[in-house]
């Protein structure tokens, strides 16, 4: 027993002693490991992750707020608003704010209530809104571009239902086009992000859009700005305003008669341009059918089974609707091109205006292995150049082309700018399609001589003809006149650009005189306007043998007044569904109607005793009455009762808002049934939705 006890006395203290020592050692080692790990971690944070963590902390403590710029306004030449931006709002939600962590039933009820309220206020699909309300995403967009009445309705609903968080109303802008369809193909439109997609909106997007500003400051734990903290402010640069050469009043006249002409002749489409030849300014440019710029993705014609079409087919239809035929599509100009041919012949001294028996037409011309008929199969007989252009004789111009030769013709075509784009400041301009010079044989030379089997754009043609009537000076088409920096008030002029002198003044005067002869004594008599000196040329081009379904294209190009040209007008009607479709019977009367209103509006004096062909010389005219200071409703009714067509910007205040301006002005001599444009106080002066920096501005 003593031995056992002794053994125990020796062993027990030894074991206990070893256990304490071990535990102490382990503890020390563990603490050292933790210490070294902490040192390593601190070093890693300091030297490896330091920069990133510093940036993250800065982001968490910094309020970085973007200030969107105001998109510039687009005006016509008279400062009428064609496109402007207005303040709207975007409604977003934070789904997590609608969750009650302790009660799932309350969460469900709240989500359904919010989805129901939002869907009813904004007329949205309930299930789609509910899916967003129940989303796991931190934020969801409910609807963009919301106008103030609906925002007021939402705020009232939120107050009534005691909802103070989770629904956000964020400032935004929306693009408006006051004249809706007017000049739609020229102005273009913007997308959901206010980025220009077509027309001027696209080409000049960087000028119109501006540069966003920014406020950088410190925020507290609640994310609110600390007001007394130092701020960094990057000033917003608002978009510039753009002033076009377009005249709303001339554009309105052109679109009215173009639409009537297309519909009357059951054509597929029509295009028209009015150009000031001395500057190249586009005063009007229209394609019909047009479309509403405020709803550009709504098709402008009835298409069966539209909803069943594929996305690709729908896009094709929309692209076709948006296309401006004046510069994005080419066509065969037909006999209007004979003006170019006559200019070359006179400039090269191939012939003169009144050389007797210079050309002979027996109804057709034999070229190589075929006969090419003239428009008058009964034959024109012996003619001068002046008579040939008045008769629009194909045979005579085939002979003229043979005398000039292909190489000389192509030299002048190049000088007239027909081998290159005009450079107009709108996106999407197309070029021409000509035979290569080496491929021009007798047949190609013959058809080119009377304006067929090659293609140019209407804009190329009117630019070339404007050069002829402008004493031979070719001007670059100008659509943008001025750019205004709204922040500084600085105006930048887009000056007219002379490209080159193509023909002499003497030749130009001779061709103008022949254009006048076409209207007074030739095939363009229906292009006449009572009291004015009008020149012109008809055009009728047959469809290509490979595409007979395209039908005829009929056109008329006109200059007024002939002696001192102020405007050149080109109208083309595509595939008219009428018997005997000719430029002389379809397009010329349309141009006559346009000029009968455009010329008085421009203040160009008439000689009412002068008779110019048959055109509109017997049309009734009257002095326009004064309707200013009448209510819009009263003025419109008064004018319509007198037989005038009235154009005005839509307003809900028609019964109270007063007419401040009318175009044409009172006492102007106008044709019965002419168009009158009314402007109210709301749309008669330049307006700006977002208030710009007014420092150094003039107040008027």
Given a cut of 90, whether residue 3 has pLDDT beyond it is no
Please state, in angstroms and rounded to a whole number, the distance separating the CA atoms of residues 31 and 355: 117
End-to-end CA distance of the chain: 124
Please state, in angstroms and rounded to a whole number, the distance separating the CA atoms of residues 242 and 505: 35
Pairing mode, strands 74-75 and 81-93: antiparallel
pLDDT of the residue at 138: 87
| Range of lowest pLDDT (6-20, 468-482, 585-599, 626-640) | 6-20
Tokens of 47: 């030297």
Tokens of 26: 């382990």
Helix axis angle for 442-449 and 406-415, nearest 10°, is: 40
The burial of 152, by beta-carbon neighbours within 10 Å (0-12 exposed, 13-18 middle, 19 or more buried), is given as exposed
pLDDT of the residue at 210: 86
Residues near 344 by beta carbon (within 8 Å), at least 6 away in sequence: 350, 404, 408, 409, 412
Cross-strand bridge partners of residue 215: 65, 233
Please state, in angstroms and rounded to a whole number, the distance separating the CA atoms of residues 397 and 552: 20
More confident residue, 138 or 11: 138
Closest listed residue to residue 94, CA positions, set 159, 157, 138? 138
Does residue 584 contact residue 391 with C-beta atoms inside 8 Å? no
Residues near 88 by beta carbon (within 8 Å), at least 6 away in sequence: 145, 146, 147, 148, 172, 173, 174
SS3 605: coil
How many other CB atoms sit within 10 Å of the CB of residue 88? 19
pLDDT of the residue at 103: 86
pLDDT of the residue at 696: 31
User: Residue 664, preceding bond cis, omega within 30 degrees?
Assistant: yes
Please state, in angstroms and rounded to a whole number, the distance separating the CA atoms of residues 443 and 659: 60
Does residue 92 contact residue 239 with C-beta atoms inside 8 Å? no
| Model confidence pLDDT, tens digit, residues 674-696 | 778 788 766 543 333 333 333 33
Residue 45 backbone class (left: φ over 0; alpha: ψ -120 to 50; beta: rest): alpha
Please state, in angstroms and rounded to a whole number, the distance separating the CA atoms of residues 387 and 403: 18
Which of 140-149, 603-612, 677-686 has maximum average pLDDT? 140-149
Q: What is the CA 380 to chain-centroid distance, rounded?
A: 46
| Model confidence pLDDT, tens digit, residues 166-200 | 999 887 788 999 999 999 999 999 998 889 999 99
| Model confidence pLDDT, tens digit, residues 343-368 | 999 999 999 999 999 999 999 999 99
Tokens of 153: 């309705």
Residue 423 backbone class (left: φ over 0; alpha: ψ -120 to 50; beta: rest): left
Does residue 595 contact residue 569 with C-beta atoms inside 8 Å? yes
| Range of lowest pLDDT (321-325, 338-342, 575-579, 606-610) | 606-610
Please state, in angstroms and rounded to a whole number, the distance separating the CA atoms of residues 258 and 184: 14
Given a cut of 80, whether residue 227 has pLDDT beyond it is no
| Range of lowest pLDDT (259-273, 536-550, 581-595) | 536-550
| Model confidence pLDDT, tens digit, residues 244-264 | 999 999 999 999 999 999 999
Given a cut of 80, whether residue 573 has pLDDT beyond it is yes
Phi, psi of 435 (to 5 degrees): -65, 145
Given a cut of 80, whether residue 654 has pLDDT beyond it is no
Does residue 250 contact residue 281 with C-beta atoms inside 8 Å? no
| Range of lowest pLDDT (109-113, 154-158, 691-695) | 691-695
How many other CB atoms sit within 10 Å of the CB of residue 394? 28
Distances (CA, A) of 571 to 4, 328, 336, 560: 129, 16, 11, 14
Cross-strand bridge partners of residue 63: 217
| Model confidence pLDDT, tens digit, residues 625-636 | 888 888 888 888
| Model confidence pLDDT, tens digit, residues 55-110 | 655 555 555 556 678 899 999 999 999 999 988 888 999 998 888 888 889 889 99
SS3 663: strand
| Model confidence pLDDT, tens digit, residues 297-354 | 999 988 888 888 999 999 999 999 999 999 999 999 999 999 999 999 999 999 999 9
Residues near 579 by beta carbon (within 8 Å), at least 6 away in sequence: none
Q: What is the CA 5 to chain-centroid distance, rounded?
A: 110
Q: Please report the DSSP string for 434-473 in residue order.
A: ---GGG--HHHHHHHHTT-SSBB-HHHHHHHHHHHHTTTE
On whether the pTM is more than 0.85, the answer is no
| DSSP code for 261 | H
Does residue 273 contact residue 459 with C-beta atoms inside 8 Å? yes
Mean pLDDT score, 480-507: 96
Percentage of the chain beyond pLDDT 70 is 85
Tokens of 216: 């950088």
Please state, in angstroms and rounded to a whole number, the distance separating the CA atoms of residues 499 and 604: 27
Cross-strand bridge partners of residue 270: 288, 573
Closest listed residue to residue 148, CA positions, set 84, 86, 88? 88
pLDDT of the residue at 7: 46
Cross-strand bridge partners of residue 370: 367
Tokens of 108: 């469900």
Distances (CA, A) of 110 to 80, 158, 312, 377, 503: 49, 12, 41, 83, 79
SS3 313: helix
Residues near 420 by beta carbon (within 8 Å), at least 6 away in sequence: 431
pLDDT of the residue at 174: 87
Closest listed residue to residue 145, CA positions, set 198, 91, 105, 186? 91
Please state, in angstroms and rounded to a whole number, the distance separating the CA atoms of residues 250 and 117: 48
Mean pLDDT of the chain: 86
Q: What is the CA 160 to chain-centroid distance, rounded?
A: 44
Rg (CA), the chain: 37
More confident residue, 608 or 351: 351
Cα angle for residues 495, 188, 78 (degrees, 5° grid): 45
pLDDT of the residue at 684: 47
Q: What kind and span of H or E run contains 141? A: strand 140-146
Does residue 662 contact residue 649 with C-beta atoms inside 8 Å? no
Q: In what order do the strands lie in the sheet with 535-541?
A: 281-288, 269-276, 567-574, 553-560, 535-541
pLDDT of the residue at 271: 98
Q: What kind and span of H or E run contains 82? A: strand 81-93
Confidence of residue 37 (pLDDT cuts 50, 70, 90): confident
Q: What share of the chain is helix, strand, coil (3-state, %, to 5)?
A: 40, 20, 40
Please state, in angstroms and rounded to a whole number, the distance separating the CA atoms of residues 165 and 127: 22
Closest listed residue to residue 572, CA positions, set 687, 458, 449? 458
Q: In what order do the strands lie in the sheet with 213-218?
A: 62-67, 213-218, 232-234
């Amino acid at each position: 027993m003593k031995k056992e006890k002794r053994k125990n006395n020796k062993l027990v203290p030894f074991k206990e002693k070893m256990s304490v020592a071990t535990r102490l050692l382990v503890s020390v080692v563990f603490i050292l490991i933790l210490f070294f790990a902490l040192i390593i971690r601190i070093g890693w944070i300091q030297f490896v992750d330091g920069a990133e963590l510093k940036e993250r902390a800065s982001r968490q403590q910094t309020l970085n707020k973007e200030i969107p710029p105001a998109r510039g306004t687009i005006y016509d030449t008279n400062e009428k608003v064609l496109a402007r931006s207005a303040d709207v709002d975007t409604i977003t939600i934070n789904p997590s704010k609608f969750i009650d962590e302790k009660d799932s039933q309350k969460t469900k009820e709240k989500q359904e209530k919010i989805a129901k309220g939002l869907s009813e206020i904004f007329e949205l699909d309930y299930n789609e809104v509910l899916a967003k309300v129940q989303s796991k995403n931190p934020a969801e967009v409910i609807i963009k571009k919301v106008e103030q009445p609906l925002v007021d309705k939402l705020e009232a609903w939120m107050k009534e239902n005691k909802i103070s968080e989770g629904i956000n109303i964020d400032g935004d802008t929306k693009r408006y086009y006051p004249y809706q369809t007017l000049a739609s193909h020229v102005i273009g439109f913007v997308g959901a992000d206010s980025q220009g997609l077509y027309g001027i909106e696209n080409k000049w997007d960087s000028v119109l859009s501006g540069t966003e500003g920014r406020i950088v400051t410190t925020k507290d734990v609640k994310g609110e700005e600390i007001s007394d903290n130092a701020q960094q402010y990057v000033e917003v640069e608002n978009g510039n305003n753009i002033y076009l050469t377009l005249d709303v009043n001339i554009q309105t006249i052109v679109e009215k008669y173009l639409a009537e002409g297309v519909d009357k002749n059951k054509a597929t489409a029509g295009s028209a341009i009015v150009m000031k030849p001395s500057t190249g300014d586009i005063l009007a440019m229209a394609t019909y059918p047009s479309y509403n710029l405020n709803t550009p993705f709504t098709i402008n014609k009835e298409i069966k089974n539209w909803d069943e079409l594929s996305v690709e087919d729908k896009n094709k239809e929309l692209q076709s609707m948006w296309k401006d035929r004046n510069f994005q599509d080419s066509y065969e100009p037909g006999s209007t091109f004979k003006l170019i041919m006559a200019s070359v012949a006179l400039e090269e001294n191939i012939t003169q205006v009144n050389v007797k028996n210079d050309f002979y037409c027996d109804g057709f011309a034999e070229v190589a292995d075929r006969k090419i008929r003239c428009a008058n199969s009964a034959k024109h007989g012996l003619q001068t150049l002046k008579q040939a252009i008045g008769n629009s004789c194909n045979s005579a111009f085939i002979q003229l082309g043979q005398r000039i030769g292909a190489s000389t013709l192509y030299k002048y075509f190049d000088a007239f700018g027909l081998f290159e784009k005009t450079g107009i400041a709108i996106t999407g301009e197309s070029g021409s399609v000509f035979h290569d010079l080496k491929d021009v044989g007798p047949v190609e030379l013959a058809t080119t001589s009377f304006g067929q089997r090659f293609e140019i754009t209407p804009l190329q043609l009117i630019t070339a003809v404007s050069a002829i009537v402008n004493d031979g000076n070719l001007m670059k088409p100008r659509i943008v006149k001025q750019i205004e920096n709204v922040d500084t008030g600085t105006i930048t002029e887009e000056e007219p650009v002379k490209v080159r002198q193509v023909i002499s003044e003497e030749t130009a005067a001779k061709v103008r005189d022949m254009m006048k002869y076409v209207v007074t004594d030739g095939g363009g008599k229906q292009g006449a306007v009572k009291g004015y000196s009008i020149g012109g040329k008809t055009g009728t081009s047959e469809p290509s043998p490979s595409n007979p379904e395209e039908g005829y294209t009929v056109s008329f190009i006109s200059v007024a007044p002939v002696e001192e040209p102020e405007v050149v007008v080109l109208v083309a009607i595509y595939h008219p569904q009428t018997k005997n479709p000719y430029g002389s019977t379809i397009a010329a009367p349309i141009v006559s109607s346009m000029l009968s209103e455009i010329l008085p509006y421009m203040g160009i004096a008439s000689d009412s005793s002068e008779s110019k062909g048959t055109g509109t010389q017997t049309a009734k005219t009257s002095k326009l009455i004064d309707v200013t200071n009448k209510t819009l409703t009263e003025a419109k009714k008064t004018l319509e009762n007198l037989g005038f067509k009235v154009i005005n910007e839509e307003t809900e205040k028609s019964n109270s808002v007063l007419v401040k301006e009318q175009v044409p002005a009172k006492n102007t001599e106008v044709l019965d049934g002419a168009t009158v444009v009314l402007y109210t106080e709301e749309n008669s002066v330049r307006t700006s939705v977002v208030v710009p920096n007014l420092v150094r501005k003039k107040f008027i």
